[in-house]
Amino acid sequence: MSYILTLGEKAKKVKSELMCASTGKKNDALIKISEELKNNIDLIIEKNNIDLENAEKNGMSKSMLDRLKLDEKRIEAIANACVNLSKLDDPVGEIVGGGVRPNGMKIEKVRVPMGVIGIIYEARPNVTVDAASLCLKSGNTVILRGGKEAFESNKILMSIMRDAVVKAGFSADVMQLVEDTSRETATEMMKLNGYIDVLIPRGGAGLISSVVKNATVPVIETGTGNCHLFVDESADLQMAVDILNNGKTQRPSVCNALESLLVHEKIADEFLPLAKAKLDENSVEFRGCERTKEILGDCVIPATEDDYATEFLDYIISVKVVADVDEAISHISEYTTGHSECIVTKSLENAEKFQMGIDAAAVYVNCSTRFTDGEEFGLGAEIGISTQKLHARGPMGLRELTTTKYLISGKGQVR
């Protein structure tokens, strides 16, 4: 029996423990995980430092190193998220529909766990805890396969969580980590029909594309974030600068960071120098159209079609001056990955046109795309941002990790 199949067997064997567990018992396990993470902060940082050292030796970019890094503040935030998750309503058992048929048969449509969830992700060790805790609360057993860049961090985090759930009365195997980070194990997970009920990829375009193309198990596609900001002619320019700066520089390595700036031609001469001055504080590289270059000078690298289509995840932004909101919508529609898009405007008409005309999971008016996040949306931690349209779209919280089934009760009715 292969290594991955063994993990699948273990997950399938214990999945009824979580599917049938009470809300109280699941919450107790989340609180225990939080406590144990806080009790082991020094050990987690020690293991994370090994990953950081290896990543630096291998030339990982500054922004990706930031994704990988765990410090005391981040670990405490991850631990606190588990407690916050324990306070959220449990979706399992929720009655979402039904009624009584003319023959007296009672039908209830109820929310239930999916069963075994597989998650393949890259160099973000916080995902290990976020994903495992969300799956636990929603009653799902989970198999996690992280990237080799975060191996030591993921291993210690999973060890701590497995010990915690055992103390809470569950089998350790309700959550497992794939400790073989070869491509072969990822490919095998994608084809583990009969064991994994749904597979969720979380990472860059290459990873997501590979899972979507190769998986034979059902997939919920999380998306890359080629996110745009359009500054309309009526925009409050200082507000636009603040939203641009927050979206581009706060954490450029995440999927809800801004990658492209569109500016109405009537305010481009005034706005672009303001934008450049602010983004210069973080040495952001501009790749722009001819008009952008005319306004800002030789510091602007001429933008290519690829630049407008790229999720940089770095201190780089593509820029284009457009004639109006219609051209902005047209440009975004061509290059969007369907994640998060924003307009800054004082025009209600243009705001409504933008929100109706943009096909994305989250469409903002006058606020940062950085809010596309499960916790910011009040969902607790998230498993990822879905950019597909079936079953789940946008931040995937607890309800998105459940399905439904029908419960039918009768008194001997026959058809």
- 380-385 average pLDDT score: 77
The pLDDT score that the predictor gives to residue 254 is 87
In degrees and rounded to multiples of 5, residue 70 shows phi and psi of -120, 125
Calculate ∠ Cα 31-251-277, nearest 5°.
150
Find the range with the poorest average confidence among 141-155, 202-216, 343-357, 364-378: 202-216
The secondary structure of residue 219, as a DSSP letter, is: B
Q: 99-117 burial, b if ≥16 CB within 10 A, otherwise e?
A: eeeeeeeeebebbbbbbbb
For 33-82, the pLDDT digits (tens) are 999 999 999 999 999 999 999 999 999 888 789 889 999 999 999 999 99
For 245-297, the pLDDT digits (tens) are 999 999 998 889 999 999 999 999 999 999 999 999 999 999 999 999 999 99
The pLDDT score that the predictor gives to residue 380 is 67
Pairing of strands 394-395, 385-386: antiparallel
Residue 382 has pLDDT above 80, yes or no: no
Q: Which helix (H) or strand (E) holds 43?
A: helix 41-57
113, 138 contact by CB (below 8 A): yes
The pLDDT score that the predictor gives to residue 383 is 82
For 83-95, the pLDDT digits (tens) are 999 999 999 999 9
Cα–Cα distance, 366 to 352 (Å, whole number): 12
Task: Measure CA of the first residue to CA of the last residue in the chain; give whole Å.
Answer: 45
H and E: helices and strands count for the chain:
15, 16
For 177-194, the pLDDT digits (tens) are 999 988 899 999 999 999
Handedness of CA 309, 312, 318, 324 (dihedral sign): positive
More confident residue, 156 or 376: 156
Q: Which helix (H) or strand (E) holds 229?
A: strand 227-231
Pairing of strands 106-113, 402-409: antiparallel
Counting residues of the chain whose pLDDT is more than 70, the rounded percentage is 100
35 Cβ neighbours under 8 A, 6+ residues apart: 79, 164
| Closest listed residue to residue 179, CA positions, set 214, 205, 154 | 154
Q: Which helix (H) or strand (E) holds 199?
A: strand 198-202
- 343-365 average pLDDT score: 97
